[in-house]
């Protein structure tokens, strides 16, 4: 896969902000260019769960401390979710794909109904119309019929629905293992090689 084309990451107010941080760290380690957008609730839940306010500086410090990965700040841009003039709002933007991680049922519903009123919603709308990869890391439980219908709508529109649903057959021993199980699934879908999760036959 080409490294020049950036990935777009949308962070919303579902639980699981740590998934976004880990994905950004792994992408940064691989040298990918990244654009990041957070919803207002995404920022709030992020601060609540991780104990620090989202900013590029804080993210880099956290990634260095937790994962020993120092993202290159020149490769990451953060856009305001209200900025519909930002590059991801246009079909001319050359993304490899977009990952909404974690994805709330609110954002999932907005994207499923084509409500392009914020940068995340508009970007997801654009990614789908341009027939690029949209990975929706949905998190909610239990799921209502409305959630399930919205997921089916998005799947039929070309998105990958990848619920943040860690497994236990791989015998996780830490929260990091649980997180990496989901990150590995995302990398698999994007055809990015990794060593986070060995293939089933290789587990001893
Ligand atoms: C601590 C916390 C955790 C939440 N977790 C979830 C969740 O896992 N899934 C979900 O759909 N909504 C969750 N919510 C509710 C969303 O944040 C809320 O619906 C919000 O409007 C989503 O907006 P957004 O999609 O613009 O980020 C949570 C809220 C809080 C305060």
Mean pLDDT throughout 75-88? 98
CA of 46 relative to ligand 1 center, distance in Å: 11
Nearest C-alpha to atom 18 of ligand 1 is from which residue? 13
Q: Is 130 in the pocket of ligand 1 (CB under 6 A)?
A: no
- What pLDDT is attached to residue 141? 98
Distance 77 CA to ligand 1 centre (A): 24
Q: For domain 7-202, which architecture applies?
A: 3-Layer(aba) Sandwich (3.40)
Residue 81 reports pLDDT greater than 80: yes
Asked whether 87 lines ligand 1 (CB < 6 A), one says no
Closest-CA residue to 3 (of 20, 28, 37): 28
Token pair 């990918």 is found at 32
- Determine if ligand 1 sits within 6 Å of the CB of residue 25: no
147 lines ligand 1 (CB under 6 A): no
Give residue-wise pLDDT tens across range 26-68. 999 999 999 999 999 999 999 999 999 999 999 999 999 999 9
Cα 30 to middle of ligand 1, angstroms: 30
Instruction: Please state whether beta strands 133-138 and 34-38 pair in parallel, antiparallel, or not at all (unpaired).
Output: unpaired
Would you place residue 199 in the very low, low, confident or very high pLDDT band (cuts 50, 70, 90)? confident
CA of 10 to the centre of ligand 1 (A): 14
pLDDT at 43: 98
Cβ(17) – ligand 1 distance below 6 Å: no
């Amino acid at each position: 896969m080409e490294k020049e084309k950036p990935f777009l990451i949308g962070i919303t107010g579902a639980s699981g902000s740590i998934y976004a941080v880990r994905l950004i760290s792994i992408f940064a380690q691989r040298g990918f260019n990244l654009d990041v957008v957070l919803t207002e609730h995404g920022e709030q839940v992020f601060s609540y769960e991780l104990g620090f306010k989202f900013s590029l500086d804080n993210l880099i410090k956290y990634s260095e401390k937790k994962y020993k990965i120092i993202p290159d700040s020149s490769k990451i841009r953060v856009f305001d979710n209200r900025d519909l003039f930002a590059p991801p709002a246009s079909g001319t933007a050359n993304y490899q794909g977009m990952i909404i991680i974690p994805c709330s049922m609110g954002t999932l519903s907005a994207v499923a109904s084509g409500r392009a009123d914020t940068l995340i919603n508009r970007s997801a709308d654009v990614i789908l119309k341009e027939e690029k990869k949209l990975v929706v890391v949905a998190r909610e439980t239990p799921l209502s019929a409305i959630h399930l219908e919205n997921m089916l709508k998005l799947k039929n529109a070309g998105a990958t629905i990848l619920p943040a649903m860690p497994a236990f057959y791989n015998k996780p021993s830490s929260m990091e293992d649980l997180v990496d199980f989901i990150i590995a699934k995302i990398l698999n879908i994007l055809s990015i090689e990794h060593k986070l999760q060995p293939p089933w036959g290789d587990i001893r």
